[in-house]
Structure 1
Amino acid sequence: MAAEEANSSTSLLDPVVVDDIEEDRESFDNGATSSRPKEPWKGEYAKSILYAGLDAIVTCFSLISSISASRLTSADVLVLGFANLVADGISMGVGDFLSSSGEKDVAAKEMAVTEWDVTNHGSLEKMELLQKYQALGMDVDDAAKVVSIFAKYNDILVHEKMMAHGRLPPEEAEKPWKNGLVTFAAFLVFGTAPLLSFIVLIPFTNSDLVKFVGACILSALALTLLGIAKAKIAGQNYAFSVVVTLFNGAAAAAAAYAVGWTLKNIAGLDG
């Protein structure tokens, strides 16, 4: 069905354009895509999962580092760690929900304003769009032709006007509550990684130092996985993304450890 529609659409094009399309298809089929940049991953909730996960690991591991520097017990680490994890997870989830909901509401309001402008000041709106295309380098005759075609389709004209002003139309399929839920779940799942060491190693050792080292290893592994995911999503170099992600976590943990050690040993505060 899709092939029939594509062939039907192609038959309406200029013969020269059709020849160019066929050449592009042959080039693609022959593997002439070695210099083509990698496409980013377009997962619907990729952003929520990635940033919630990164924030959760860094936040939880930094807390563990601070507590460990203060020489508190493993029980203290688990109680404070999970309490902080749930509280921050709820905060992150609600924050993502409110942010996504606000963006959608603003986009819907801007679209309503644009629809009114197109309906009541159509000539002015078409002139602005014409000038926008000219500013982008389009010939005045071609720009006028494009605008005149868009003017036949009110929805398309509204969409182009919003895009010309750097505004995206609201995504009707987007559910802000899903974004918030995914963010909350991702925060809990990834934030648990640094704490697992203090749970898994309970039958094997009572040493808080060993458990802390285990937390360091698990946090590094989790950050590495998220660094790889970040590179996949953004189409970046994997090694660079992993190094930056690990450095971010290490810097935050070192700062937290230094603060905890300072308060314990210099300021004379007992945990």
Structure 2
Amino acid sequence: MSVRRSPSSLREEHSPEAIAQRLAEPRSVSYLRDFIYGAIDGTVTTFAVVAGATGAKLGATVVVIMGLANLLADGLSMAVSNYLGTRAEQDQRERARQRERRHVRLVPEGEREEIRQLFAAKGFAGDDLERIVDVITADEDRWVETMMVEELGYGPDPTVPWRAAAATFAAFITVGLLPLLPFLLDAVDDDLVPEPFAWSTVLTAAAFFAVGSAKARVVGQQWWRSGLETLLVGGAAAAVAYLVGVGLDQVV
């Protein structure tokens, strides 16, 4: 959960000097969404293989082979998909920016009127409104970026596609490996883990809860509530996977 700052501390952080220093710093980028996405999907996907194979009464060696193959293949697939998806969003943003720049150059009066109406809707009027229009439209880059935010709804996006993909892949592999660990140990020595599926279930539940709790520390939620929410959602998906495995075993 986020830490509450005292009024005096907040005042210090909002002094002109502190504000100037903070705004001058490079914009930090959070890849939390990519990490959570990879971690949850990796855990569910791997447990789906484990649960399905267990439900179908397959041996530990088969579970390990299927689990590792699925972990690497799906992890890479998700990372590539995330990379391409992020690139596509950036390309879409850039096309919109170039379109607005073209409109500013070809129909400047129409674009000025758009700025005027956008800020009139915010409550500005009269001379104040006209000064805002004059200031914004005096610089083409500022004009275009204002249209990107105010008209098209784009915010700043410093996301690096390969970093987003790397965060997804790393989370998918590291967290997604947990449901498979008991079966890896069982494949090495049958006596190390007497009930591999039970331990896999425990590790999967712990992974869901830990990921949810970690997310809560970043977004300012109650850690236990976020952990339970992630556990319930992920656990429901895992339960479905197990039931599918049992069902297939009955059919086959």
TM-score range, shorter chain: 0.7 to 0.9
Aligned to 1:213: 198
| 1:147 maps onto 2:133 in alignment | yes
Aligned to 1:48: 34
What is the aligned residue count? Answer: 232
Amino acid at match of 2:225: F
Aligned to 1:34: none
Shift of 1:239: 2.1
C-alpha separation between the residues in 2 aligned to 1:147 and 1:157?
9
Q: How does 1:158-173 map to 2 (within 5 A)?
A: 158-168=144-154, 171=157
2:94 to 108, 111, 129: 108
1:238 to 215, 220, 223: 223
Amino acid at match of 2:40: L
2:64 to 78, 92, 101: 78
Amino acid at match of 1:263: L
Q: Which runs of 5+ in 1 are unaligned?
A: 1-24, 32-41
Aligned to 1:257: 242
2:208 to 223, 243, 257: 223
Q: Which runs of 5+ in 2 are unaligned?
A: 1-6, 14-27
Kindly provide the CA deviation profile for residues 148-185 of structure 1, in whole angstroms up to 9, marking residues without a partner as x.
Answer: 111222211111111112342674x5432332233222
Q: Contact 2:29 / 2:159 at 8 angstroms: preserved in 1?
A: no
Secondary structure class of the residue paired with 1:236: coil
Secondary structure class of the residue paired with 2:138: coil
| 1:191 maps onto 2:176 in alignment | yes
Amino acid at match of 1:222: A
Q: Structure 1 pair 203/140, CA: closer, same or farther in 2 (3 Å)?
A: farther
Q: TM (normalized to structure 1)?
A: 0.77
Amino acid at match of 1:246: L
C-alpha separation between the residues in 1 aligned to 2:12 and 2:166?
44
**Identity fraction in percent:** 30
CA RMSD of aligned residues (A): 2.5
Report runs of 4+ in structure 1 exceeding 4 Å deviation.
none
Larger radius of gyration: 1
Aligned to 1:37: none
C-alpha separation between the residues in 1 aligned to 2:10 and 2:159?
33
